[in-house]
Amino acid sequence: MHADQMIATKSPPGKIRTTLEMIKFEHSVFALPFALMGALLAGRFAGPGWPTWRQLAWIVVGMVGARSAAMTMNRIADIDYDRLNPRTASRALVTGALSLQFAWLFTILSSAVLNLAAWQLNSLALKLSPIVLVVLFGYSYTKRFTTWAHLVLGFCLGMAPAAAWVAVSGALDRRMIVLCAAVTLWVAGFDVLYALQDIEFDRQAGLFSIPRKFGIGGALAIARVMHVVMLALLAVAAWSFALPWPAWAGLVLVGALLAYEHSLVTPADLSRINAAFFTVNGYISMLLLISWGAAIWVSRS
């Protein structure tokens, strides 16, 4: 069946499900908690109190718009590679379940949603929103020329807490740079683990990645170092905001989860990469939101 005919016969609920699968909507759990952390920190240390429900709602809308645009652009940019990679050959744009025309339209609309949310928040957020899109879209091409594309992906999510701080306060605090760097290294570290699945394909296709350059053992060591430095940066951030004990308790638990994540993946056994990537990292982001949110609450009492 021709791709256009497949799209025409797909029911709206089915098309929605396919679109959500294309953008991996469930992975929002990786980024959204850090945006909410940034908002809570801004409300506590740069504002009169907690962020308003209106601010939180527009932050969520902006995050969804930004992430949807970025993920769809990534699928558009990588469609030729996705066709050749057995792991990705069943993706919607490759099979024709969604058309390129639809993907471009969805990217434009998602970008507009981000800009609308930024406009509703404050002038600085609106001014910075095009820069955010440049970074998000630029990542899609970095694997073609740099081994360190994992860090660019990390920065795409690492911007979340700083963006939320700007959304609430209308300014930026240098302490947020430390938190952004921590999130960047966290994401880059687990993306290195995820990229182990494509090490042979990257070699064949001429794509760059840490696993391709340093091998499985080297990539695992680099991911561990990234996560150790991430924990150190989170500790610096917690200290800089003088956060009380719940934040520190959360860091201890996050350290334990990271150790468990790395125990799941060894040079001799890569079969549990998905468990390390999806399950453990979802717990980490939610744990940090809960523990740091509790610390902010305690610090206000």
pLDDT > 50? residue 215: yes
Q: Which pLDDT tens digit goes with each residue over 68-103?
A: 999 999 999 999 999 999 999 999 999 999 999 999
User: Where does the chain have alpha helices with state H?
Assistant: 3-9, 12-22, 28-45, 53-77, 79-84, 92-95, 100-121, 123-139, 149-169, 175-195, 199-205, 210-240, 245-263, 273-274, 281-300
Cβ neighbour number for residue 206 with a 10 Å cutoff: 9
The CA distance from 115 to 38, in Å, is 19
Confidence (pLDDT) at 11: 61
Find the mean pLDDT for residues 149-161: 96
Domains and CATH numbers, the chain: 3-294 (1.10.357.140)
Q: Which pLDDT tens digit goes with each residue over 247-287?
A: 999 999 999 999 999 998 888 888 888 766 778 888 999 99
Find the mean pLDDT for residues 109-115: 97
Closest CA to 105 of 155, 68, 149: 68
What pTM does this model have?
0.91
3-class state of residue 68 by DSSP: helix
pLDDT band at 7 (very low <50, low <70, confident <90, very high): very low
